Amino acid sequence: MLAIPVIDVKSGRCVHTQGVGEKSKQVMEDPIALCGTFSDMGARQIQLVDMDAIRNRQPEHLSLVQQIKRQFPDMKLQVSGGVCSSEDIQIWLDAGADWVTLGGRLLRKQDEMELILVELGQNLIIGMDVRAQLWQQGYCPFMGMSFQDWAQALEDEGVAALMFTEVPEQGRVNGHSLTAASELAASINLPVIAHGGVQSVHDLKNLSQPGYHKLHGVTLGKPMFDGFFSYHDAISMLKH
């Protein structure tokens, strides 16, 4: 199972918040150095979130992607943030991204998405953040299509993976999202990445159990940067 660090980049720096409430502080790091740290610890794939692209709705950190791929050519890089069109996808791919993650508004533009899947399917990771109640009712992003048929269509077009989050009706994403992602992975052939559910070492221990072995990978973000577990913990526990 892949342990995929999530690096949020703003104004050329890796930005993340440590702590909560009044004790929280914003930490800014060199993204190249951080990629090097993860690479040295055994990371094979990183998700880069372009925060400026989300705001400006166009790719921003193209030179950073180029630098990462030059210095770490074996590192697989998935890029997300502000992707609004097939042109945006191609710009990221030309910069060196291995995959571009799609979600949000673009995913709901069915006619446009169908064309994008045909043209660029193998370069895509599809991101799905779904409310728990909707997911339990059989939610599908495409109207008039069952989820199973939609997942089969993604597989047919060679999509790299489905990155899934079950969002609770109340509170934050938690370990239950990992269970939902695992159940999804067992029901389809498309690789599934659980996004946002790893909050603690306890979650990592659960992921090492046989019931989660169908998952292709998990993303690791704020709880890891907050020190609730280390990347070394994740790599050690997810070696299956």
- The predicted-structure confidence for 108-153, as pLDDT tens digits, reads as follows 788 888 899 999 999 999 998 887 777 777 778 788 888 888 888 8
Q: For position 207, what pLDDT does the model report?
A: 92
Q: CB atoms < 10 A from the CB of 171, how many?
A: 8
Q: Between β-strands 124-131 and 45-50, what pairing exists: parallel, antiparallel or unpaired? A: unpaired
Q: Report which DSSP code applies to 123.
A: G
Check residue 23 and give its pLDDT. Answer: 52
Out of 24-28, 145-149, 152-156, 178-182, least confident range = 24-28
Quick check: 25 pLDDT over 60?
no
pLDDT tens track for 204-230? 999 999 889 999 999 999 899 888 999
**Region 77-88: what's the mean pLDDT?**
90
Question: What is the structure's pLDDT at 29?
Answer: 82
Tell which wins on pLDDT, 173 or 150: 150
pLDDT at 24 over 70: no
Answer yes or no: are the C-beta atoms of 207 and 178 closer than 8 Å.
Answer: yes
Using the 8-state DSSP alphabet, how is residue 120 labeled?
Answer: H
Beta carbons within 10 angstroms of residue 220's beta carbon: 26
Inter-residue contact 51 to 15 (CB < 8 Å): yes
Query: What single-letter DSSP state applies at residue 238?
Result: T
Handedness of CA 143, 145, 148, 150 (dihedral sign): negative
Asked if the model's pLDDT at residue 237 lies above 80, the reply is yes
pLDDT higher for 81 or 93?
A: 93
What per-residue confidence (pLDDT) applies to 233?
A: 93
- The enclosing domain of 216 has a CATH number of 3.20.20.70
pLDDT at 78: 96
d(CA 210, CA 182): 10
Sole residue written with tokens 């692209």? 53
Closest C-alpha among 211, 102, 104 to residue 157: 102
Kind plus residue range of the DSSP H or E element containing 227: none
Enumerate the H helices of the chain as residue ranges.
Answer: 31-40, 51-56, 62-71, 86-95, 104-108, 110-120, 132-136, 147-156, 175-187, 201-207, 222-225, 231-237
Query: Which domain covers residue 175, as residue numbers?
Result: 2-237
pLDDT for the residue numbered 196 = 83
Residue 68 CA to residue 83 CA, distance in Å, equals 20
**pLDDT of res. 185:** 92
**What was the pLDDT predicted at 18?**
57
pLDDT category at 57 given cuts 50, 70, 90 is confident
Domain count across the chain: 1
pLDDT of residue 239: 79
Hey, which residues does 17 pair with through a beta bridge?
Answer: 26
The per-residue pLDDT for 203 is 92
Q: What is the pLDDT of residue 129?
A: 83
